[in-house]
Structure 1
Amino acid sequence: MNPGPPDTQVEDQVSRDVLIAAYTVVGARRTSLDTMMWQVPALATAAQAFLLTIALQTDGSRAAQAIAAALGAVLAVLSAQLMAKHRHLEMSDSRLTERIERQLGLERGLGVAPHAAGRLRLGERQPWWIRLSSYRLWLVGVATFGVADLVVAFDAMANLGLLG
């Protein structure tokens, strides 16, 4: 006796269970990457403050000032790259999460997908300072530290005395 075609309801349930499991894993990883991305500028700012304190000391040696400032410039580049890498991976997981949400039909049930862009979730026009990309602003900030470090390093190496 032929049992007939497999129960499609069971197949849909297995598929839904797999999607939910994948959603949980990808969502947790996305959150972790987002957290790491914002830890980078926080830690880099603390390190920059330490290095610039050494680099801008007027009673220190020019060599120590130049080395501290050069290390700060390297730190700025490393921080920007790491922040960009975490952002890229987080955005990749965000897109995957959105696809899973569509397949699970979460948008139909909630009116908007939980991981949709902020402008879609909020539904209202936000002030310009809210719409600015914090990620891009922080990259500019990290780059600004790098430029300041290069100026201090050049000043110390050339013994120009521009900064003190």
Structure 2
Amino acid sequence: MRKPPEDGTKFDRDNLLSLLSVYTTQFASYTTLLWQVPALGLAAQAFLMTIVLGSHDNTSDGAKYAAGILSIVVAGASIRLMHSQRGRAINQSELAKRVSRNLALNELLGTLHINDAAPQSTSPEDVWDVNHWTYGLWLTCMALFVGVDLAVIASIAAGTGWFT
């Protein structure tokens, strides 16, 4: 059996509902940030790749190098930020699950069966799971940008014009 907090605080149903509200709000915030990162990273990549791959004679190799290196930095920062926000979302989801269990939400709400949801069948406790295959896809896309950026920089350095 769990010990009550040392300060004598009791966690009644209202306290637990307040905690659940806080954790789910934080979960939503981190999840929103998680999926904004790849969109913003992709916009930055598109802008930088326009500079790097531009066939304009007035764009110096130095500018192309700088844009290529910055593109690599943006991809790396996007990967790191996505991973960080996902980790925070997972922490909040775990806390929400624990409070949901303590509130016995499974007994109150039962199993969720929704055809167009992901996952299609879950419980009120496990609905907070953060395991999207799309996360891995976006990480792969950002890593591919790094590879393409390195290839373009090598092409510029070799003077081969493989991409322009």
**Band the TM-score falls in, shorter-chain normalisation:** 0.7 to 0.9
Structure showing greater radius of gyration is 1
Q: Name stretches of at least 5 consecutive residues in structure 2 with no aligned partner.
A: 1-8, 113-117, 124-130
1:26 to 20, 23, 31: 23
TM-score of the aligned structures, taking structure 1 as reference length: 0.79
**CA-CA distance at 1:118 after TM superposition:** 2.3
Contact 1:66 1:154 in 2 (8 A): no
Q: Deviations over 1:36-83 (max 9, x none)?
A: 000000000000000000000122211111111111011100000000
The residue correspondences of 1:1-164 to structure 2 (distance < 5 A) are: 15-59=12-56, 60-112=59-111, 118=119, 120-121=121-122, 133-164=133-164
- In structure 1, the residue matched to 2:126 is none
Q: Distance in 2 between matches of 1:107 and 1:156?
A: 60
Return the letter of the residue paired with 2:97: E
Identical counterparts, % of pairs = 36
When the two structures are aligned, how many residues end up with a matched partner? Answer: 142
TM-score of the aligned structures, taking structure 2 as reference length: 0.79
Q: Name stretches of at least 5 consecutive residues in structure 1 with no aligned partner.
A: 1-10, 123-130
What is the aligned-residue RMSD (CA, Å)? 2.1
Q: Distance in 2 between matches of 1:154 and 1:120?
A: 49
Q: Distance in 2 between matches of 1:47 and 1:26?
A: 31
Larger RCO (CA under 8 A, 6+ residues apart)? 1
Structure 1 or 2: more helix by fraction: 1
- In structure 1, the residue matched to 2:127 is none
Look up the SS of the partner of 1:144 in the other structure. helix
**CA-CA distance at 1:84 after TM superposition:** 0.2
- In structure 2, do the counterparts of structure 1 residues 79 and 30 end up closer, same or farther at CA, with 3 Å as the change threshold? same
